[in-house]
Amino acid sequence: MSGDEHEIIRPPNTLKSKVTYGPGGVDLDALEKAEAVIAGLKGSYLEWVQDDLVKLQEVYDRALAGQGDPRDNLREIFRIAHDIKGQGGSFDYHLMTQVGNHLCRFIEAAEELVVTGKSELAVVKVHLDALRLIIAERREGDGGAEGQKMVAGLALVVEKYLKRKKAAEEG
């Protein structure tokens, strides 16, 4: 097959024979009940995220002690932060998603520069402290004005790190 040719295939629609439309199906009430079931898992979420925070602290401690490759440590931190980002919002902890995302974006930016370890870990630490505070104080939703102030503060820390790093590399 050359680059310009294409074949259209119509697979059998197996879903059509299995899915019926009618009473007892998924309607607005069913969706609201499903959302309520998720909300009912909030207690479990707080346990899961606590485990993630412990893991994050462990990797941070290992990295600070100079164990392992700095890039590998950052990647492990990224993986845990990515899980935190992906779960918080489902349980009305949108601020966890926001800060988790912020930490992921920082690590992506840092990986493009020379990773020394200590300076990156200082930025990781403020994110870790923020995540822990959100859970400890049960700051649900976007955390209100204080929550957004926290995110703005984290953005400033990252900006300062990137400026210094780039200046050092250019100089």
Partner 1 sequence: MTGYNLERLNFLVVDDNKHMRALVKTILHALGSKNVLEAADGADAFKELRHFPADIIICDWNMSPLDGLDFVRLVRTGKDSPNPFAAIIMLTGHTEMHRVVEARDAGVHEFLAKPISAKGLYSRIRSIIEKPRPFIRTATYFGPDRRRKEMDYKGRERRKNSAAAASTPAAESSSQETGLTQAELDALFG
Tokens of 72: 């590998």
Name the residue with tokens 């995302």. 101
**Is the Cβ of residue 63 or residue 97 nearer to partner 1 in the bound state?**
97
Residues 6 or more apart whose CB falls under 8 angstroms from that of 17 comprise none
**What's 19's DSSP letter?**
-
Closest approach of partner 1 to the CB of residue 47, in Å: 9
Name the residue with tokens 């780039």. 166
- Is 73 near partner 1 (CB under 8 A)? no
- Is 75 near partner 1 (CB under 8 A)? no
**Is the Cβ of residue 105 or residue 132 nearer to partner 1 in the bound state?**
105
Contact 125, 72 (CB under 8 A): no
Q: Which of 135, 127, 137 is nearest to 47 (CA)?
A: 135
Name the residue with tokens 């680059």. 3
Length of the chain, in residues: 171
- Is 22 near partner 1 (CB under 8 A)? yes
**Is the Cβ of residue 116 or residue 148 nearer to partner 1 in the bound state?**
148
Closest approach of partner 1 to the CB of residue 170, in Å: 21
What is the C-alpha R_g of the chain? 22
**Is the Cβ of residue 60 or residue 97 nearer to partner 1 in the bound state?**
97
For residues 121 and 136, give the distance between their C-alpha atoms in angstroms, rounded to a whole number: 22
Site string for partner 1, 28-67 (x = CB under 8 A): xxxx-xxx-xx--x--xx--x-------------------
Tokens of 22: 């009618």
- Is 88 near partner 1 (CB under 8 A)? yes
- Is 13 near partner 1 (CB under 8 A)? yes
Chain positions contacting partner 1, by CB under 8 A: 1-11, 13-16, 18-31, 33-35, 37-38, 41, 44-45, 48, 79, 82-83, 85-91, 97, 101, 104-105
